[in-house]
Structure 1
Amino acid sequence: MTGGHFYSDTSIPDLYRWFATETASSPTWQQLSTWIAQTEDIWPLLDSLPGKKRQPNVFLATLRYLEGPTAPGADFLAWVQQHWPEIRAVVLARDTQTNEPGRCANLAPVLSSLGEKIALIEVGMSAGLCLFPDRYGYRWSLEDGSTVARGQDDVAVIECAVTGRSPVPYELPNVVWRAGIDLNPLNPSDPDDAKWLRSLVWPGQATRERRLASALQMAAAEDVVRVRGDAIEQLPSLIARAPQDATVVVMHTVVLAYFQRERRIEFEAMMADLPVRWLANEADRVLPGVAERIPSWDGPPSFVLSLDGQPLARTAPHGQFHHWL
């Protein structure tokens, strides 16, 4: 029986073969994912997880959260079998809520072009770290060899390589109001939520770990409206709460892949009708209306940044590059 979702419908070996290609920047996860895809003895355990809980990233983050082994082999399999009840409990309680501040390097220039005052609403906010594109420092490296530096380095400095012709200036937005929706909003000041977010960072990515720690500390002291619930149900009323003298921007980054297919279509139709600007950073096939407008791409794994349904750029998963279309 299929669940209408990639993680529900794909076999365990195919899921982990796919994830091995996604994690080329983390040899630890790439090697372990490749081993899992080839090791039948572990498949029944992973296949017993329900629906979207079969997502590789949730299981692997749980290993880090529980401080378990990450090297493939017989010892790893024995540890997983011995600790499976504990592993399963964490997987069922948690979700992939990767909160990557680096993605703000892709979002900030577009947001700065949308108005003098921005009321920013994030769908799938996690701990809300992407609601602060005005609080990070940036170094955008352009194709001509020049560098545009903006913002402060008191929280984090995000490096981003830029290719293609930019349609927007490299400035920071003036965000005057911040709000987010999530089925399970995380609290940046909660030690357990912070530990889970740190566990979602792939092994070997020390820069991301340091950036996340600094961003969590900053966000813990900031005022953000957090709404628990379904985005389609909660978004209209949240938009109504935004300041009337600001441009309301609804933003999401790598969120809609976790919606059922029919809910994605419903969300896309709703966004076309709401009186807001809509900034999306998603996989290229997640939004049908955007997907049909995207030029072909033979570069590294990327997302598509779009504004009001119009593709703007290819972006790196953690904000390390963007290529203007």
Structure 2
Amino acid sequence: MTTASVYAEFAALEAHGVSPTYERLSLAVAGNPTILGLLDGLPPAKRQPNLLFGVVRLLGGPVGDPSDFHDFTVANWAEVEANLRTRSTQTNEPGRCAVLLPVLAKLPQPLALLEVGASAGLGLYPDRYSYRYGRHRLGSDGPVLDCALTGTPPPDRLPEVAWRAGLDLNPLRVTDPADVAWLDALIWPEHQHRRDRLRAAAAIAAADPPLLIRGDLVDDLPGLAARAPAGATLVVFHTSVLYQVPAARREAFDHLVRTLPGHRISVEAPGVVAFDSLPPAPDDTLHNVLALDGRPLAWARGHGQAATWFGA
């Protein structure tokens, strides 16, 4: 797939109807030989739209007007490139907990949560947030996470969490302003509600920090999982992470996690985690597949804003 097609696909499948700014900007980049040429000098994993747009925003560059974006990116390419090479997309979206909750609430309690690709660990607090599934409200503290849930009843309780830990190649700290600035830059321009709940979730994590370990999802997972307390159900989960992992390492992780006790929840794009068959997605926008122990259960939008159940 060419870099131009990556940006055109991002505009059509991810940004369309979600971020007019990024849809317009992605289409402009797809047709801009100068920026495409600069991006093609990078490894494929470093050319992705979310990463480029986040870096430019972090550096104070404009994303609202494609012409201004072009001028800033070209004029500041050395700094943009340096950040692209050293950073990765670490969107730490608390809203994804609204997709996880219907599964977490039904597992044997209490839970020992271990997130792979945890970023700053904001996905490790599903018991500390509030949820709104249509007219059904659950919880009374923390940011309110809205999710359009269809095909299954909304959960009727919050999970009990006895232990929470995360594994990441570059864990972020919500107490570090520079790390929070990067998380903020990764939020799409129009999404002030996501910015507000990032801050609210960061305050929760800062008051009770999770165990975050710098490490590899294959080499370091067994040691961290072994630290989960006895008597708690281990839940290894990951959301929109494995697409950044080479196929051979994804396969090694898949084999490894099957040997661990407890359960695995995955929320990844179709094809990133293999399934024998899937029903059609609700529409043409990008959906991830929510699965428990390798069994697909639902289609989920990337920021947790909707989930369409099709599994038992």
TM-score, normalised relative to structure 1: 0.91
Where does residue 115 of structure 1 map in the other structure? Answer: 108
**Which has the higher mean CA deviation after the structures are superposed, 213-222 or 122-131?**
213-222
Tell me the alpha carbon deviations over residues 170-214 of structure 1, each in whole angstroms, 9 at most, x when there is no partner: 321001100010000000110000000000001101111111111
- RMSD (Å) for aligned C-alpha atoms: 1.4
- How big is the shift at 1:298? 4.2
Where does residue 295 of structure 2 map in the other structure? Answer: 310
Q: What's the secondary structure of 1:212's corresponding residue?
A: helix
1:265–1:287: 8 Å Cα contact kept in structure 2?
no
Q: What's the secondary structure of 1:98's corresponding residue?
A: coil
2:300–2:306: 8 Å Cα contact kept in structure 1?
yes
Is 1:96 aligned with 2:80?
no
Is 1:322 aligned with 2:307?
yes
Tell me the alpha carbon deviations over residues 3-49 of structure 1, each in whole angstroms, 9 at most, x when there is no partner: xxxxxxx3221111011121121111110110111111221111112
Q: What's the secondary structure of 2:218's corresponding residue?
A: helix
Alignment of 1:238-257 (within 5 A): 238-257=224-243
Aligned residue identity for 2:301: A
Where does residue 23 of structure 1 map in the other structure? Answer: 15
**Which has the higher mean CA deviation after the structures are superposed, 105-114 or 183-192?**
105-114
Alignment of 1:1-325 (within 5 A): 10-21=1-12, 22-24=14-16, 25-141=18-134, 147-153=135-141, 155-166=142-153, 169-288=155-274, 291-299=275-283, 300-325=285-310
> Partners of 2:114 and 2:68 in 1: how far apart?
45
> Partners of 2:297 and 2:69 in 1: how far apart?
43
Aligned residue identity for 1:124: G
TM-score, normalised relative to structure 2: 0.95
Following TM superposition, the consecutive aligned residue runs of length 4 or more in structure 1 with deviations greater than 4 angstroms are none
Aligned residue identity for 2:225: I
2:111–2:234: 8 Å Cα contact kept in structure 1?
yes
**Which has the higher mean CA deviation after the structures are superposed, 269-278 or 22-31?**
269-278
**Which has the higher mean CA deviation after the structures are superposed, 118-127 or 103-112?**
103-112
> Partners of 1:232 and 1:261 in 2: how far apart?
13
Aligned residue identity for 1:196: W
- How big is the shift at 1:223? 3.1
2:24–2:66: 8 Å Cα contact kept in structure 1?
no
2:101–2:155: 8 Å Cα contact kept in structure 1?
no
Aligned residue identity for 1:212: L
> Partners of 2:189 and 2:66 in 1: how far apart?
18
> Partners of 2:20 and 2:63 in 1: how far apart?
11
**Against the structure 1 CA distance between its residues 69 and 262, is the aligned structure 2 distance closer, same or farther, given a 3 Å change threshold?**
same
- How big is the shift at 1:132? 0.2
- How big is the shift at 1:73? 4.4
Aligned residue identity for 2:3: I
> Partners of 1:239 and 1:307 in 2: how far apart?
18
> Partners of 2:64 and 2:42 in 1: how far apart?
22
**Which has the higher mean CA deviation after the structures are superposed, 28-37 or 43-52?**
43-52
> Partners of 1:236 and 1:79 in 2: how far apart?
44
Tell me the alpha carbon deviations over residues 42-74 of structure 1, each in whole angstroms, 9 at most, x when there is no partner: 211111122311111111101110111214444
- How big is the shift at 1:227? 1.0
Q: What's the secondary structure of 2:10's corresponding residue?
A: helix
Q: Percent identity?
A: 44
Aligned residue identity for 2:277: R
Q: What's the secondary structure of 1:44's corresponding residue?
A: helix
**Against the structure 1 CA distance between its residues 250 and 79, is the aligned structure 2 distance closer, same or farther, given a 3 Å change threshold?**
same
> Partners of 1:89 and 1:309 in 2: how far apart?
38
Where does residue 144 of structure 1 map in the other structure? Answer: none
**Against the structure 1 CA distance between its residues 137 and 298, is the aligned structure 2 distance closer, same or farther, given a 3 Å change threshold?**
closer
1:109–1:171: 8 Å Cα contact kept in structure 2?
no
**Which has the higher mean CA deviation after the structures are superposed, 49-58 or 309-318?**
49-58
